[in-house]
Structure 1
């Protein structure tokens, strides 16, 4: 479930500047109670069935056509896309200098995690700087997948991002997932789009947005002691690879079970990878529990999960 996000000028004024500079203000404030029945009806009716030709970005709810194409989403959010090249899409297609991404998103010493073939996989949340953490305030996310990292990089770098296209692609991916039990993304946005199309969205059941992300969240989960901890200087991937190569030479005499543990620790990252500098498909968000007490508990568990990932 989406969450409203505060501008926190006393802690990270650049967040508000970046958001408003892109005319993304509505993106941080639009979440309202979600009509569960409407969202559950939307997704099956937006799914492509077999080889039957289906119009892109179109679903149906109670006899109404629901368009979730990039223009419809941008219009709802009040953003304007003039048709120029989306630099986020370009990064996804052609790759990017990952050292620069690390310098923008990470604390000194923080870096992308890579698999055994050297492909970039993700960034640990503990490696993100406070501003990046606030941009990526998702529950139970201890690792930031590559596509999320590139989207965040483009946002902070003030590169062009067609946010309507990004969200439309995500919804289309959710609609065509095989796993019927997977969470349904962007529920509040879909409720808004259905209402605009004439669907009656006032009948319960509803799910209200989770507690807003604000200064209290920033103090507890993005800054404070964690951000102030001393860290080692950032090294390039080539330098880290040389260190890892030396470490592998030093451990070649390890016991078999130790080698197995080390191997599993290298491959046990999420499966989204960059092949030849290219990223995977759009990511999924989650519909989550919404009581304030549950929100606090989830945020605390998120940080505990993050701490565990360091061990």
Structure 2
């Protein structure tokens, strides 16, 4: 029988509680309710990965496939600006990773859940992830969430050497400029309308990897205010683009309707002409008899 996780550890002889409830308190999280399925439910129910890619990626983007044709991962460079912004937060604060150029299925589902709506129980994800790392005996295991762990230790009154540490590598803020930035390697990989997406080149892969390594910064430096401001600006731009697209679509539909009406009138006139011609032919034939 599998034992229930304790969500407890000792740091300098002080017991530290990292249960979901405690993490929720130290991070100041509040419960949210959605009509749409949550992250864990989507993962368990085998979501529609093609729908996910169409909602969080640029047009005509497809998944990288495994040998059996299954969905493997998405490229970060193919994400929409809004999804790219949220991915920065996910990979640094929720589902940590050092391979930042590839968006696996779990992170893609979480991105989709955040953008279209759905509950993401961050406190449970972090607590379970810390518990799994602590249960491993491998020295190569990565322990993420340093800022959260620091808050938990401070709440448990663990004695620290420096109560006001100087953080190294302050990091880059996530703003609108970084969200909209597209490298030459990413641009060359962008698919064109009605054209099959070409396979990426190894040189472009290396350039994208170098870019991601330079952008990887500690999670505690994420400026949520700047990110929220950037998302709001991006949403305004997206709404303007949507309005223009709807206007163009409306004009296109009106043009299509006019063309159909013209074709109907031409067909009607052609039928009238054929009918009159047939009557005249019959009249001429009767005169010769």
TM bin, normalised by shorter chain, reads 0.5 to 0.7
Note if 1:67 corresponds to 2:17: yes
Aligned partner of 1:270 in structure 2 is none
Aligned partner of 1:88 in structure 2 is 39
Indicate conservation of the 8 Å contact 2:32/2:119, yes or no.
no
Aligned equivalents of 1:165, 1:300: Cα separation in 2: 27
Aligned equivalents of 2:27, 2:66: Cα separation in 1: 38
Q: 1:168 aligns with which of 127, 151, 171?
A: 127
1:21-74 Cα deviation digits (max 9, x unpaired): xxxxxxxxxxxxxxxxxxxxxxxxxxxxxx995743211112222111111111
Indicate conservation of the 8 Å contact 1:123/1:143, yes or no.
yes
Aligned equivalents of 1:140, 1:94: Cα separation in 2: 26
Query: Secondary structure at 1:180's aligned position in 2?
Result: coil
- RCO higher in structure (CA 8 A, sep ≥6): 1
Q: 2:68 aligns with which of 113, 117, 124?
A: 117
Task: Report the count of equivalent residues.
Answer: 195
Structure 1: 5+ residue stretches without partners: 1-50, 245-264, 266-294, 303-311
Query: Secondary structure at 2:150's aligned position in 1?
Result: helix
RMSD between superposed Cα atoms in Å? 3.8
Note if 1:223 corresponds to 2:181: yes
Aligned equivalents of 1:86, 1:57: Cα separation in 2: 27
Aligned partner of 1:253 in structure 2 is none
Note if 1:177 corresponds to 2:136: yes
> Which structure has the larger Rg?
2
Distance 1:102 1:82, change over 3 A: closer
Post-superposition offset of 1:159: 0.8
Normalised to the residue count of structure 1, the TM-score between the two structures is 0.52
1:208-229 Cα deviation digits (max 9, x unpaired): 46414332xx524643566877
Distance 1:83 1:219, change over 3 A: closer
Distance 1:69 1:146, change over 3 A: same
Post-superposition offset of 1:102: 0.8
Normalised to the residue count of structure 2, the TM-score between the two structures is 0.56
For residues 211-250 of structure 1, the aligned pairs below 5 Å read 211-215=171-175, 218-220=176-178, 222-224=180-182, 231-233=191-193
Distance 1:183 1:297, change over 3 A: same
For residues 89-168 of structure 1, the aligned pairs below 5 Å read 89-137=40-88, 138=91, 140-168=99-127
Aligned equivalents of 1:190, 1:301: Cα separation in 2: 19
Post-superposition offset of 1:174: 2.3
Post-superposition offset of 1:163: 1.1
Indicate conservation of the 8 Å contact 1:59/1:66, yes or no.
yes
Aligned equivalents of 2:27, 2:37: Cα separation in 1: 17
1:168-195 Cα deviation digits (max 9, x unpaired): 1222222233431333211111011011
Aligned equivalents of 2:160, 2:216: Cα separation in 1: 33
Distance 1:232 1:174, change over 3 A: farther
Aligned equivalents of 1:69, 1:149: Cα separation in 2: 26
Aligned partner of 2:232 in structure 1 is none
